[in-house]
Amino acid sequence: MILRDFVAASSPRLRRAVAAAAVASGLVAGTVAPGDAAGETKSGPITLVAFGDSLTAGYMLPKKDGFAAQLEATLRAEGRDVRVIDAGVSGDTTDMGLARLEWSVPAEAQAVIVELGANDALRGQPPEAARRNLDEIVARLTARGQKVLVSGMLAPRNMGASYAAAFDPIFAEVAGKYGALHHAFFLEGVAMHPEFTLPDGLHPNAAGVKRIVAGILPKVHELLDRVGK
Whether the per-residue pLDDT at 7 is higher than 50: the answer is no
Whether the per-residue pLDDT at 121 is higher than 50: the answer is yes
Cα-based angle 221, 218, 91 (whole degrees, multiple of 5): 95
Question: Average pLDDT of the chain?
Answer: 86
The Cα 113–Cα 219 span in angstroms is 10
Domain at 13-27+36-227: CATH code: 3.40.50.1110
Instruction: Kindly name the residue from 53, 86, 151, 203 that is annotated as catalytic.
Output: 203
Average pLDDT of span 178-187: 98
Burial class (CB in 10 A: 0-12, 13-18, 19+), 153: buried
Instruction: Kindly name the residue from 81, 200, 221, 225 that is annotated as catalytic.
Output: 200
pTM of the model: 0.82
Average pLDDT of span 79-100: 98
Q: Are strands 111-115 and 181-183 parallel, antiparallel or unpaired?
A: unpaired
- Is the sign of the CA dihedral 135, 2, 112, 12 positive or negative? positive
Instruction: Kindly name the residue from 10, 36, 53, 54 that is annotated as catalytic.
Output: 54
Domain map (residue ranges) of the chain: 13-27+36-227
The Cα 13–Cα 35 span in angstroms is 35
Neighbour count for residue 119 (Cβ, 10 Å):
25
Instruction: Flag the least confident range among 24-38, 169-183, 210-224.
Output: 24-38
pLDDT at 229: 53
Q: What is the DSSP string of the chain?
A: -PPPPP------HHHHHHHHHHHHHHHHTTSS-TTPPTT---SS-EEEEEEESHHHHTTTS-GGGSHHHHHHHHHHHTT--EEEEEEE-TT--HHHHHHHHHHHS-TT-SEEEEE--HHHHHTT--HHHHHHHHHHHHHHHHHTT-EEEEEP----GGG-HHHHHHHTTHHHHHHHHHT-EEES-TTTTTTT-GGGB-TTSSSB-HHHHHHHHHHHHHHHHHHHHHHT-
Answer yes or no: 200 catalytic.
yes
Average pLDDT of span 9-16: 40
Whether the per-residue pLDDT at 28 is higher than 50: the answer is no
Maximum pairwise Cα distance, the chain: 50
- Is the sign of the CA dihedral 140, 127, 169, 69 positive or negative? positive
Answer yes or no: 203 catalytic.
yes
